[in-house]
Amino acid sequence: MSAPKIGYLLVRTLAKPLANGIKNYSKTHPTFKKWCINLAQKTYKLEMNLNMYLLGQKHHKIRSLNDAK
pLDDT for the residue 15 = 94
The 10s digit of each residue's pLDDT in 18-35 is 999 988 998 899 999 899
Dist CA 6 CA 42 (whole Å): 34
Would 22 be classed as within a structural domain? yes
Would 39 be classed as within a structural domain? yes
Q: Which is nearest to 32 in space by CA: 42, 23, 41? A: 23
Would 63 be classed as within a structural domain? no
Would 14 be classed as within a structural domain? yes
Average pLDDT value over all residues in the chain: 86
Would 41 be classed as within a structural domain? yes
Domain that holds residue 10: 3-55
Would 60 be classed as within a structural domain? no
Predicted model pTM: 0.63
Number of domains in the chain: 1
Would 65 be classed as within a structural domain? no
